[in-house]
Amino acid sequence: MTVVGADPMAESAPEQTGEQVSAAERPEAWWSVVWSSKKARVGVVVVGLYVLIALLAPLIAPHAPTDGSFVPLEPPSGAHLLGTNVGGQDVFSQLVYGSRVSLLVGLLGGTLATVIALVVGLVAGYAEGTVVDDVLSFVTNVALVIPVLPLIITLVAYSEVRGIGLIVGVIAITSWAGAARGKRAQIITLRNRDFVTAARFSGDGPLRIIFAEIMPNMTSLVAAAFVGAATGAIGAEAGLAVLGLGSSDAVSWGTILYQADAAGAVSQGLFAWVFVPGLVLAVLITAMSFINFGVDLLSNPHLREG
C-alpha cells in the first residue's frame, strides 16, 4: 500500500498481491461507484429533479404560497392544479415551495446529525477503553434508547416560535446516536493500522490523527450516515408538521397535510390535497434510500455489480 489516508477503498479491500497493485492503486472514484448502481442512478436523478424544482420554485409555482386571494376549498381545476385550501391559497404553489423546506431540513438536519455522530463516535472509538470512551458511549447508549419522536415532540412543543432552525436543531440532537455507534466500531478497526501508528510517532495530536488521518478513510460510512440522517430528518419534519408542530414561518408538505386533515379534506372529497403531498414525500424518501444502495457499494465492494 502506497498512499495511505487518501483512498477509502484501499483500506477496506482485501490485501492485494503484487501483480495487482497497479490496478488497485487507481480505485474507481466514489461517484462512479455510486453511479454504477442502477437504483442509485435513479435516486440521484430524482433528487436532482427535486433540487431543481426547489431552486426554481418562484418560476414554477403560479402563485405565492401565502397568497390567499382565491376561493377557498376549490377542487382541482386548470387554474388550481391541486385546488385551494381553507385560506384560499393555491395548494400546488404550496407544494412547489414546500420542496424547499423538506430539502433544507434534510440537508441541514443530515449534516448536523452526521457531524455530531462523527465527533462523538470517532473520539469514543479512538479513546476506546478510557474514561472518555465510557462517558461518550454511555451518552450514546442513552440517546439510542430514548424514543426519538416523543422526545422531539416534547422539545418542540415548549417553544412558542417554531422556525426551521429550531426544528432542524431538535431533530439533529435527537437522532445522531445510531450513526455514532457505527463510527465508533469502524474507527476501532482502523485505529491500529500502520499509517496511524506512523502519524502518532511523528508527533501528531489525537484530534489531528482522528479527523485528518483516519476520517478520510471512512468517506463511505460518513456518506451513508448522512443520507440516512437526511432521510430521517425529512420524515421527522413532516411528522411534526402533521401534529401541528411545523415551522411557523414556512409552508412544508407536512403543514399542507396538517391543514388538509384539519379541514376535513378527505370527507369533502378533496382527495388530491391529501394524496399528492404524501406522494411527493414518499418519492423523495424512496429516491434517497435508492442513493444509499449506491453508497453501500462503496463500503462493501462485494456488492458491486459486474
| Residues binding other proteins (CB under 8 A) | 138, 141-142, 145-151, 153-155, 157-160, 235, 238-239, 242-245, 257, 260-261, 266-267, 269, 271, 274-275, 278, 281-282, 285-286, 289
Measured from the CB atom, the residue of 212 and 282 that comes closer to other proteins is 282
Of residues 195 and 275, the one with the C-beta less far from other proteins: 275
Query: In the numeric block, which cell numbers belong to residue 305?
Result: 455489480
C-beta of 5 vs 235, nearer to other proteins: 235
Considering beta carbons, is residue 154 or 189 the nearer one to other proteins? 154
**Cβ neighbours of 270 (radius 10 Å):** 22
Q: What's the min distance (Å) between Cβ of 245 and other proteins?
A: 6
Q: Are 54 and 37 in contact (CB under 8 A)?
A: no
Closest to other proteins by CB, 226 or 258: 258
Measured from the CB atom, the residue of 180 and 215 that comes closer to other proteins is 180
Residue 226 in contact with residue 240, Cβ under 8 Å? no
Q: Minimum distance between the CB of residue 166 and other proteins, rounded to whole angstroms? A: 11
CA distances in angstroms from 109 to 94, 172, 194, 211, listed in the order given: 22, 5, 35, 21
Query: Do residues 227 and 112 make contact, with C-beta atoms less than 8 angstroms apart?
Result: no
CB 143, min distance to other proteins, A: 9
Q: What is the Cα–Cα distance from 232 to 14, expressed in whole angstroms?
A: 33
| Residue 73 near residue 263, CB atoms below 8 Å | yes
Decide whether 141 or 197 has the Cβ nearer to other proteins: 141
Which three cell numbers mark 169?
436543531
Q: Which is nearer to other proteins, 44 or 242 (CB)?
A: 242
In single-letter form, the type of residue at position 13 comes to: A
What distances in angstroms separate CA 62 from CA 82, 212, 300, one per listed residue?
12, 48, 46
The residue assigned the cell 466500531 is: 185
Q: What is the dihedral of CA 270, 273, 278, 284, to 10 degrees?
A: 140
Q: From CA 299, how far away is CA 9, in angstroms rounded?
A: 8
Report how far apart, in Å, the C-alpha atoms of 49 and of each of 16, 22, 85, 149, 280 are: 40, 38, 26, 29, 12
Contact 170, 155 (CB under 8 A): yes
Minimum distance of other proteins from residue 153's CB (angstroms): 6
Nearer to other proteins, 62 or 150 (CB): 150
**Residues 280/253, Cβ–Cβ less than 8 Å:** yes
